[in-house]
């Protein structure tokens, strides 16, 4: 546990000039971000999952190919790495529009794919035996399991994720995160972890009807936030949009495009997931009603 706390503190340490973000001069936009505080955790998690999946497959003597869970995790990991390491990340330091795309990939694409994979077992089996047993015992303790059961309730998880989105998009805090590397890391970590919590409640904790409702609520409030950015008559995010002119946009146009990214494409993902959940809920309800009718008539 102490090692996990130490790792979290290291991730929030100030970044060295070699890995500077928006203040770093570049001659091209095709810049990859090889920040060790991003690359190392990504590589560690990916490596643990690969090792754990191989060990679990060996134990079950499985001979079939890659399953749906493995594909979901791989897709989630790749999109997360692309958002945080590829040129998209560097572009996000200079244009609000790309920064918003980066955030939406993390929250609305990577997080649900990783949650669908249910990777906990594979990650645990990727650890050395003693560490795996210790981690398993810790996860089964009453405080940890009770805390997870409490936090992953649909309404609370939706509320926590919503608070993270609105708080970090407050102009003062958002601009501060653009300038401060530690805050920027904390922002991305907050978005990702609360998104994991939210999507876990949607896929694995709530019934499908409730899940559709929580997705619909998230669509409404994120759409409202996006609309506020897109329809604002003045620039709200001064530091984030300060280099927009260098890319052929005014600061206000950059902010408006960023708002549209949150409002429409991201909203489409939430709406699509809500419709799927609602359709499955209706189909399950219809099947249940038919079974009750058959039982009563027999």
Distances (CA, A) of 152 to 101, 160, 195, 256: 26, 10, 11, 33
Query: How many angstroms separate the CA atoms of 291 and 18, rounded?
Result: 65
- pLDDT tens, residue by residue, 19-49: 444 444 444 557 888 888 889 999 999 999 9
Return the SS3 of 192: helix
Report the C-alpha dihedral over residues 237, 242, 244, 249, rounded to 10 degrees: 70
Query: How many angstroms separate the CA atoms of 50 and 295, rounded?
Result: 47
Residues in Cβ contact with 195 at an 8 Å cutoff, skipping those fewer than 6 apart? 106, 107, 108, 111, 112, 161
Of the two residues 59 and 128, the one the predictor is more confident about is 128
pLDDT at 123 over 50: yes
Query: How many angstroms separate the CA atoms of 32 and 45, rounded?
Result: 20
Return the SS3 of 249: coil
Give residue 63's pLDDT band: very low, low, confident or very high (50, 70, 90): low
pLDDT of residue 287: 59
pLDDT of residue 31: 86
Count of Cβ atoms closer than 10 Å to residue 5 Cβ? 9
- pLDDT tens, residue by residue, 237-283: 999 999 999 999 999 999 999 999 999 999 999 999 999 999 999 98
In this structure, is the dihedral angle defined by the CA atoms of residues 67, 85, 100 and 193, taken in order, positive or negative?
positive
Q: What angle do CA 131, 197, 276 make, to 5 degrees?
A: 125
pLDDT at 7 over 50: no
Give residue 59's pLDDT band: very low, low, confident or very high (50, 70, 90): confident
Distances (CA, A) of 45 to 84, 119, 285: 14, 10, 39
- pLDDT tens, residue by residue, 173-194: 999 999 999 999 999 999 999 9
Q: What is the total residue count of the chain?
A: 298
Of the two residues 51 and 35, the one the predictor is more confident about is 51
Q: What angle do CA 162, 230, 29 make, to 5 degrees?
A: 95
pLDDT of residue 27: 46
- Look up residue 205 and give its DSSP letter: I
Contact between 238 and 187 under an 8 Å Cβ cutoff? The reply is: no
pLDDT at 100 over 90: yes
pLDDT at 289 over 50: no
Count of Cβ atoms closer than 10 Å to residue 248 Cβ? 8
Contact between 131 and 51 under an 8 Å Cβ cutoff? The reply is: no
CA atoms within 13 A on the CB side of 33: 26
Work out the mean pLDDT of the chain and round it to a whole number. Answer: 87
Q: Mean pLDDT across the stretch 102-123?
A: 97
- pLDDT tens, residue by residue, 193-202: 999 999 999 9
């Amino acid at each position: 546990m102490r090692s996990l706390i130490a790792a979290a503190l290291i991730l929030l340490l100030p970044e060295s000039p070699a890995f500077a973000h928006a203040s770093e001069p570049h001659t091209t936009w095709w810049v990859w971000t090889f920040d060790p505080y991003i690359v190392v955790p990504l590589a560690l998690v990916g490596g643990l999952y690969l090792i754990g999946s191989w060990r679990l497959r060996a134990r079950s003597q499985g001979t079939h190919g890659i399953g749906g869970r493995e594909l979901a995790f791989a897709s989630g990991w790749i999109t997360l790495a692309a958002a945080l390491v590829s040129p998209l990340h560097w572009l996000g330091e200079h244009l609000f529009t790309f920064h918003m795309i980066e955030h939406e990939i993390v929250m609305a694409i990577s997080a649900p794919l990783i949650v669908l994979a249910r990777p906990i077992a594979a990650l645990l089996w990727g650890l050395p035996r003693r560490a795996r047993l210790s981690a398993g015992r810790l996860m089964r303790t009453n405080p940890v399991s009770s805390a997870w059961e409490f936090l992953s309730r649909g309404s609370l998880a939706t509320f926590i994720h919503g608070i993270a989105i609105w708080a970090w998009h407050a102009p003062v805090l958002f601009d501060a995160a653009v300038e401060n590397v530690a805050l920027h890391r904390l922002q991305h970590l907050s978005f990702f972890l609360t998104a994991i919590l939210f999507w876990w409640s949607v896929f694995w904790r709530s019934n499908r009807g409730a899940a559709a409702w929580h997705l619909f609520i998230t669509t409404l409030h994120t759409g409202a936030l996006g609309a506020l950015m897109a329809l604002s008559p003045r620039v709200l995010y001064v530091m984030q949009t300060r280099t927009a002119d260098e890319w052929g946009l005014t600061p206000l146009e950059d902010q408006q495009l960023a708002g549209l990214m949150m409002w429409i494409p991201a909203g489409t993902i939430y709406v699509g997931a809500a419709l799927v959940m609602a359709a499955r809920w209706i189909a399950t309800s219809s099947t249940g009603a038919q079974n009750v009718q058959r039982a009563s008539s027999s």
